[in-house]
Amino acid sequence: MSIEVTGVNKRFGDFVALENIDLSIPTGQLTALLGPSGGGKTTLLRIIAGLESADSGTVVIEGQDATGLPVQKRNVGFVFQHYAAFKHLSVARNVAFGLEIRKRPKAEIKKKVDELLELVHLGQFAGRLPSQLSGGQRQRMALARALAIEPSVLLLDEPFGALDAKVRKELREWLRRLHDEVHVTTVFVTHDQEEALEVADSIVVINQGRIEQIGSPDDLYDRPANDFVQSFLGPVTTFNGRVVRPHDIDVTTHEVPGTTAGSVDRLTRIGLEVRLDVSVAGSDAPITAVVTRAEALSLGIEPGSKVWLRAV
């Protein structure tokens, strides 16, 4: 195990940020800490890094007890949401920073910086200042800077949170490929379940200072431990007193035994799919079902249509 967190508690005044957290993060994996804002995931990451200290509990990194170590002695790479670029230093000097602190020979630093800038596709920007880069480029620079010190673990705090949707999507695919190349144990914090499902090998769901579930994306999506995890990882709807995914509701336009009758209030097209809001007698909130566009067309569903629903 690369990171072992045991019995960690943290309060800010009266607010309980983390409560009795036990967590093992295996070597070489890409792990996501996923949860709503204010749930404690960033605090946990900062405690692992040593940027915040826990009220109680221990943090062991690569077999070494790091609980009392200050951040500069932990050899962790940390990437901040807002890049934390050194504004007065060129891109190359930003990346070289950790190596200069470690007093490595000049030639070695230059070689390493060139390599890393190639890795993050910023080779031709070496001489620029961070203010001359786009947000996505700055974050790649920050990643190269963190990787330069050959960290035992790489920690990313909402790394793509400040970027627009398109760049965010590109960067997370790129992060996944990068991780497959460098294999450093990586933990990233996100509140975006799609990001976690797409990028991570394993996901830790954190809510209100507690861990709700740990597992692979498939585990979490298909076998959620509780309603919170299920609803956080994707859309849900309550059908006959059960929480199910809208995809898992079958829609027909004629009565079949074992179905529930309702009428369509609204159709919303989302890409290739159509979401139906169906009101059913005896249920306060409308039930959400999702069908493909082709299905909706062939069934001839429109607002006011009578439909029969069945959970798969």
Of residues 37 and 131, the one with the C-beta less far from other proteins: 131
CA–CA gap between residue 162 and residue 174 (Å, rounded): 17
For residue 86, list its beta bridge partners. Answer: none
Of residues 60 and 71, the one with the C-beta less far from other proteins: 71
Q: Determine phi and psi for 54, rounding to 5 degrees.
A: -80, 150
Q: Give min distance, CB of 72 to other proteins, in A.
A: 5
Of residues 73 and 111, the one with the C-beta less far from other proteins: 73
Q: Give min distance, CB of 141 to other proteins, in A.
A: 11
Residue 211 contacts residue 21 (beta carbons within 8 Å): yes
DSSP 11-49: EETTEEEEEEEEEEE-TT-EEEEE--TTSSHHHHHHHHH
Of residues 72 and 252, the one with the C-beta less far from other proteins: 72
Of residues 101 and 297, the one with the C-beta less far from other proteins: 101
Say how many CA atoms lie within 13 Å of 98 toward its Cβ: 22
Q: Give min distance, CB of 85 to other proteins, in A.
A: 8
Of residues 3 and 49, the one with the C-beta less far from other proteins: 49
Q: Which helix (H) or strand (E) holds 292?
A: strand 287-292
Q: Give min distance, CB of 84 to other proteins, in A.
A: 4
- Cα 307 to Cα 114, 259, 297, distances in angstroms: 62, 9, 14
Q: Give min distance, CB of 108 to other proteins, in A.
A: 16
Q: Give min distance, CB of 199 to other proteins, in A.
A: 22
Q: Which residues of 31-60 are buried (b: 16+ CB within 10 A; e: fewer)?
A: bbbbbeeebbbbbbbbbbbbbbebeebebb
Of residues 125 and 239, the one with the C-beta less far from other proteins: 125
Sign of CA dihedral 53, 54, 55, 59: negative
Q: Which residues of 85-98 are buried (b: 16+ CB within 10 A; e: fewer)?
A: bbeeebbbbbbbbb
Q: Give min distance, CB of 80 to other proteins, in A.
A: 6
CA–CA gap between residue 195 and residue 160 (Å, rounded): 10
Interface with other proteins by CB under 8 A: which residues? 49, 51, 70-73, 75-78, 80, 82, 84-88, 97-98, 101-102, 129, 131, 142, 145-146, 148-149
